[in-house]
Amino acid sequence: MIKAVHVLNGPNLNLLGTREPSVYGHETLAMIEARLAKTCEAQGVSLHFRQSNHEGDLVSWIQDAGRAGEPVILNAGAYSHTSIALADAIKGSNARVIEVHLSNIHARERFRHHSHISSVAQGVILGFGAASYDLALQALLAATKPES
């Protein structure tokens, strides 16, 4: 059973709810955090929910989670398509990561079709809007339940 889940959000995700709602939806990051917190609390799991527009913050938080043996739900935003540093942090710290995207990156601009995170992630959930976070959390919780 996991004790804590880290939900890490990259650049511009602090603008959710107002940034291109036709692409990213109307839910704010605070709304997503509140919903995930309720789910975690019901499961007896701590939630560490963070957002940064700075790549180095995300690298440090991934390393911290990996060292603690705690899983990560990562929406790296545009860094998914550009950051080898995030991929290296995941590999180097043995962090267990589920990559999340609100939109279907494969149905968008060509430069968004490749993610450096996907090849080092345990799984990828995309295209379900804010529910992508819930699906990732459900997957983590289901994967760590003790066998009956």
DSSP characters over 12-41: TGGGTTTS-HHHH-S--HHHHHHHHHHHHH
Q: What is the pLDDT of residue 103?
A: 84
Q: Which residues does the annotation mark as catalytic?
A: 24, 101
The verdict on residue 114 lying in a domain is yes
The verdict on residue 41 lying in a domain is yes
pLDDT 10s digit of each residue in the chain, 148 long?
789 999 999 999 999 887 766 666 678 999 999 999 999 999 999 999 999 999 999 999 999 999 999 999 999 999 998 899 999 999 999 999 999 999 887 766 686 667 989 999 999 999 999 999 999 999 999 877 655 4
Its domain, for residue 102, covers 4-143
Q: What is the pLDDT of residue 18?
A: 79
Q: How many domains does the chain fold into?
A: 1
* Per-residue 3-state assignment (H helix, E strand, C coil) for 85-130: HHHHHHHHHCCCEEEEECCCHHHCCHHHCCCCCHHHCCEEEECCCC
Q: What is the pLDDT of residue 82?
A: 87
The verdict on residue 88 lying in a domain is yes
The amino acid occupying position 56 is G
Q: Give backbone dihedrals phi and psi of 56, rounded to 5 degrees, phi first.
A: -60, -35
The verdict on residue 99 lying in a domain is yes
The verdict on residue 60 lying in a domain is yes
Task: List the CATH number of the domain containing 36.
Answer: 3.40.50.9100
The verdict on residue 148 lying in a domain is no
The verdict on residue 72 lying in a domain is yes
Tell me the C-alpha to C-alpha distance, in Å, between residue 25 and each of 28, 116, 144.
8, 24, 30
The verdict on residue 67 lying in a domain is yes
Q: What is the pLDDT of residue 148?
A: 46
Sign of CA dihedral 109, 54, 121, 147: negative
